[in-house]
Amino acid sequence: MADIVLTGNTSGAITVAAPAVAGTNTITLPAETGTIVTSATAAADVPKPTALSTASGSAPSYSARAWVNFNGSGAVGIRASGNVSSITDNATGKFQVNFTTAMPDADYAVQCTAPSFSDTNDAVCAKVRGSSTGTGIPNVQTVSAVQVVYGNNQSPATFYDPAYYYVSIFR
């Protein structure tokens, strides 16, 4: 059996010359941009998708820039994560999520959840907010980390170490 031969021209058209068969043995494909992937193409040279393969519809789709599932009770430990290098235990119910690769800026969205610590009190997971006056609490959402808390929504708040804590970063 003869090999199939791919040739291109300056207009971007690609010609596929197939082994002789009854009828025509040359197929001309429309001009395309990009890279032709062959079995000899190195893995590093294979083009990466620019959109999520599971996305549908015309609205844009965004991936999480970082996420973590960690144990906040006892010895704090990461169960699973993406782009999170470590968790810092700042105090009871107060944690810092440290990114492996920095965010492009500090304008990202933080989402956090954890199971309720009690059937009688509402649990609150939140990103720690900085002081609007520039004093007190420092900036706690930076390109390299974000601080989150877990506690009740009573006054004064009581903080708790959750056994399961989930944080996602979107930008």
Q: Are 31 and 139 in contact (CB under 8 A)?
A: no
Query: How large is the C-alpha radius of gyration of the chain?
Result: 26
pLDDT tens-digit profile of 109-120? Answer: 999 888 876 655
pLDDT tens-digit profile of 134-152? Answer: 444 455 789 999 998 888 7
In whole angstroms, give the CA distance from residue 109 to residue 73. Answer: 25
Q: How far is CA 132 from CA 69, 97, 107, in A?
A: 30, 22, 16
Q: Are 2 and 19 in contact (CB under 8 A)?
A: yes
In whole angstroms, give the CA distance from residue 33 to residue 18. Answer: 22
Tokens 């190195």 found at? 42
Among 33-37, 60-64, 91-95, 124-128, name the one with the lowest average pLDDT: 33-37
pTM: 0.63
Question: Nearest Cα to 72, choosing from 90, 57, 98, 54?
Answer: 90
In whole angstroms, give the CA distance from residue 74 to residue 171. Answer: 31
Is pLDDT larger for residue 100 or for residue 117?
Answer: 100
Question: Nearest Cα to 25, choosing from 42, 45, 8, 5?
Answer: 5
pLDDT tens-digit profile of 40-82? Answer: 555 566 666 665 566 677 877 778 999 999 999 999 999 999 9
For the cut 90, the answer to whether the pLDDT of residue 19 exceeds it is no
The pLDDT of residue 151? 82
The pLDDT of residue 129? 58
